[in-house]
Amino acid sequence: QQQVKQSPQSLIVQKGGISIINCAYENTAFDYFPWYQQFPGKGPALLIAIRPDVSEKKEGRFTISFNKSAKQFSLHIMDSQPGDSATYFCAASMVNYGGSQGNLIFGKGTKLSVKP
Amino acid sequence: EAGVAQSPRYKIIEKRQSVAFWCNPISGHATLYWYQQILGQGPKLLIQFQNNGVVDDSQLPKDRFSAERLKGVDSTLKIQPAKLEDSAVYLCASSLGRVDYGYTFGSGTRLTVV
């Protein structure tokens, strides 16, 4: 019930295309859903995050779509660029519970390659 | 604002040897986390500190791993003795409190056990 399932494992997109990465969760108590971007040799960096009270959040070329009833959320990267090539992780947390229950549960990651 | 500092960046040791990693969080961040990231997987929490107290160490293999955060600032993670399956990147992260408050990862230490 604590798992976050992420797909696909890898993704190749042409420059200018749309990259879509999906995540699913089981625990309805999760109340914070961030996406992290990780470049080789670096730690994950927060990209964008959403709360379950909204269905979509957009920041520049990055959009999170959230479907509470389906217990799914996805990351859309519009106009994908070679510089977006990285590994993307979805995560979930019960921040309002605090303590150890507020920790992040990560998906297994998606390696995105954007071809020029 | 300086980021989360970790050292060393890389470490190669033989199995059954010991190794220690160091982390200095962002100034003022009360909460510090150690994660293990095995190649091709997402980070997995090993231990969480709030100031110098342990909040969660349920996934820390306590027979070989130990961690401390003396004085509530920097922290060390130790493995003794190391096994081949401990080969991974060890990430440190810190936050002001909750994971949605200024949560920042360091660049990690890549450990190879041969």
Q: Which of A6, A43, A103 sits opposite B45 (nearest CB)?
A: A103
Confidence bin at A1 (pLDDT 50/70/90): low
Distance (Å) from the C-alpha of residue B65 to the closest C-alpha of chain A?
A: 19
Residue A99: pLDDT above 80?
no
Q: Please spell the DSSP secondary structure of A4-59, one letter per residue.
A: EEEE-SEEEEETTS-EEEEEEE--TT--BEEEEEE-TTS--EEEEEE-TT-SEEEE
| Predicted local distance difference test score (pLDDT) of residue B1 | 63
Q: Where residue B23 falls among pLDDT bands split at 50, 70, 90?
A: very high
> Sign of the C-alpha dihedral, residues B94, A43, A38, B113?
negative
A83 vs A115: CA distance, rounded Å: 10
Residue owning tokens 């959230």: A66
Q: Which residues of A touch B (CB under 8 A)?
A: 6, 32, 34, 41-46, 49, 89, 91, 93, 95, 98-100, 102-104, 106-109
DSSP code at position B96: S
CB contact under 8 A, A43 and B93: yes
Could A108 and B40 be called an inter-chain contact, meaning their C-beta atoms sit closer than 8 Å? yes
* Count of CB pairs separated by less than 8 Å, A with B: 57
Enumerate residues 6+ apart whose C-beta is below 8 A from B66: B77, B78, B80
pLDDT higher than threshold 90 for residue B99: no
Residues A104-111 have a mean pLDDT of 96
Strands (E) across chain B are located at 5-7, 10-13, 19-24, 31-37, 44-50, 53-56, 65-68, 75-79, 88-95, 104-105, 109-113
- B41–chain A nearest CA distance, Å: 5
- Cβ separation B99–A89 shorter than 8 A: no
- All residues of chain B having their beta carbon less than 8 Å from the beta carbon of residue A95 are 98-100
Task: Write down the pLDDT at residue B98.
Answer: 82
Contacts of A2 in chain B (CB under 8 A): none
Q: Would you call B105 and A44 a contact, using CB atoms and an 8 Å cutoff?
A: yes
Per-residue pLDDT tens over the stretch A38-77: 999 999 999 999 999 999 999 999 999 999 999 999 999 9
Residue A105: pLDDT band (50, 70, 90) is very high
Query: Look-up: residue for tokens 């342990």?
Result: B54
Which of the residues B44, B100, B104 would you substitute to probe the A interface, choosing the one with the greatest number of A C-beta atoms within 10 Å? B100
pLDDT (tens digit per residue) in B31-89:
999 999 999 999 999 999 998 899 999 999 999 999 999 888 999 999 999 999 999 99
Report, as an integer, the average pLDDT of A15-22. 98
- A95 three-class SS: helix
pLDDT greater at residue B70 or residue A26: A26
Cross-chain CB nearest to A102 (options B41, B42, B98): B98
